[in-house]
Amino acid sequence: MSNALKDMVKEVALEARELNKSFGGLTATDNLSIEVARGEIHAVIGPNGAGKTTFVNVLSGLLKPDSGEILFAGRDVTLLSAAARVRQGLARSFQITSIFRDFTTLENVMLSVQAGQGHSFRFWAPTARDKSLREPAVDLLERVGLGDRVDVTAGNLAHGEQRQLEIAISLATNPSFLLLDEPMAGMGPEESQGMIDFLKVLKGSYTMLLVEHDMDAVFALADRITVLVYGKAIATGTPDEIRNDAAVRAAYLGEEAV
Ligand SMILES: Nc1ncnc2c1ncn2[C@@H]1O[C@H](COP(=O)(O)OP(=O)(O)OP(=O)(O)O)[C@@H](O)[C@H]1O
Ligand SMILES: [Mg+2]
């Protein structure tokens, strides 16, 4: 198929072109190119230290690449700040939770709704009663399954609930694209299954790049998978293609307890 025809068939939501990022002498992102089609869940897997979080950090704008380009919805966003990318619809969650632990569940999401409306964090008293923040925040918490936990201090939520809150915080900025860095990290089997089911529901409305170690989740959710080893993409394909890829099995699936 010609490239022009391919573009007509699938719209590219996010494209990384030949990204490089080093920390001193360590190459964490090595000439990495990836295309995420609109509407797909594109999983990024790889052993510990493969450069998955670094890649998410570069895509979200937390880190600047040493070279390469990032296109989001056809626009070059390589030089944009993380906040500017969020305003264009590119949201992320963190591997290590980034909630405000002393605030309630609801306040955490309201702050993010406010940030998504283009305001910086205005602390605080008038905001707490602001219906334009409160209503969307309550809706989001109901969607992620925390409807009965709105007034709990976020630091007191169970670990899995904190991951759900992270997703609500990401969704609050009204994104079209979610960068998810290990949303199942630290969850038990039941919580993981709940998150898998929830991400399936979100799939109709968002494009996602999913970094995840939980292979059951990856194979249940992903349309395509890219395998990173030492910052390099060694394979991209459908779950079946990846499962049967000899290089992937040797480099990753074979040696990790998955
Ligand atoms: N800020 C930093 N400074 C120096 N080295 C870093 C920094 N961030 C990451 N690294 C190194 O870059 C490499 C890639 O790290 P990264 O966190 O991206 O891996 P990962 O695939 O997300 O791993 P994990 O599966 O454990 O989350 C590692 O060797 C890590 O030690
Ligand atoms: Mg990581």
- Structural domains for the chain: 1-83+177-258 (3.40.50.300), 98-174 (no CATH)
Q: Which two tokens stand for residue 223?
A: 């349309």
In angstroms, what is the span from residue 72 Cα to ligand 2's centroid? 22
- The predicted structure's pLDDT at residue 258: 42
Q: Which two tokens stand for residue 98?
A: 């980034």
Task: Answer yes or no: are the C-beta atoms of 146 and 169 closer than 8 Å.
Answer: no
- The predicted structure's pLDDT at residue 115: 77
Which residue is associated with the tokens 């409160």? 134
- The predicted structure's pLDDT at residue 130: 78
Ligand 1 atom 1: residue of nearest CA: 23
Q: Walk along the chain (258 residues) and give the pLDDT tens digit of each residue.
A: 566 665 556 799 999 999 999 999 999 999 999 999 999 999 999 999 999 999 999 999 999 999 999 999 999 999 999 989 998 999 988 766 678 999 999 999 998 888 777 665 555 545 556 788 899 999 999 999 899 999 999 999 998 889 899 999 999 989 999 999 999 988 888 889 989 999 999 998 999 999 999 999 999 999 999 999 999 999 999 999 999 998 888 876 555 544
Ligand 1 binding pocket, CB closer than 6 Å: 23, 26, 28, 46, 48-54, 95
Residues 230 and 243: their CA atoms lie apart, in Å, by 19
Which residue is associated with the tokens 């670094």? 54
Please state the atom number of ligand 1 nearest to the C-alpha of residue 56.
Answer: 18
Please state the atom number of ligand 1 nearest to the C-alpha of residue 63.
Answer: 1
φ, ψ (nearest 5 deg) of residue 218: -60, -50
> For 157, what's the count of Cα atoms within 13 Å in the CB-facing half-sphere?
29
Residues 211 and 46: their CA atoms lie apart, in Å, by 9
What are the residues whose beta carbons fall under 8 Å from the beta carbon of 240, sequence distance 6 or more? none
- The predicted structure's pLDDT at residue 101: 93
- The predicted structure's pLDDT at residue 121: 53
In angstroms, what is the span from residue 159 Cα to ligand 1's centroid? 23
Nearest 10 degrees: Cα torsion 76, 78, 80, 82: 120
Which residue is associated with the tokens 């990856």? 218
- The predicted structure's pLDDT at residue 160: 86
Task: Answer yes or no: are the C-beta atoms of 167 and 98 closer than 8 Å.
Answer: no
Please state the atom number of ligand 1 nearest to the C-alpha of residue 55.
Answer: 18
In angstroms, what is the span from residue 1 Cα to ligand 2's centroid? 35
In angstroms, what is the span from residue 49 Cα to ligand 2's centroid? 7
Residues within 5 A (CB) of ion ligand 2: 52-53, 95
Cα angle, residue 195 at apex, residues 146 and 183 outer, rounded to 5°:
100
* Ligand 1 mutation target, pool 30, 44, 45, 54, most atoms within 8 A of CB: 54
- The predicted structure's pLDDT at residue 250: 84
- The predicted structure's pLDDT at residue 69: 98
- The predicted structure's pLDDT at residue 257: 42
Burial class (CB in 10 A: 0-12, 13-18, 19+), 189: exposed
pTM value is 0.89
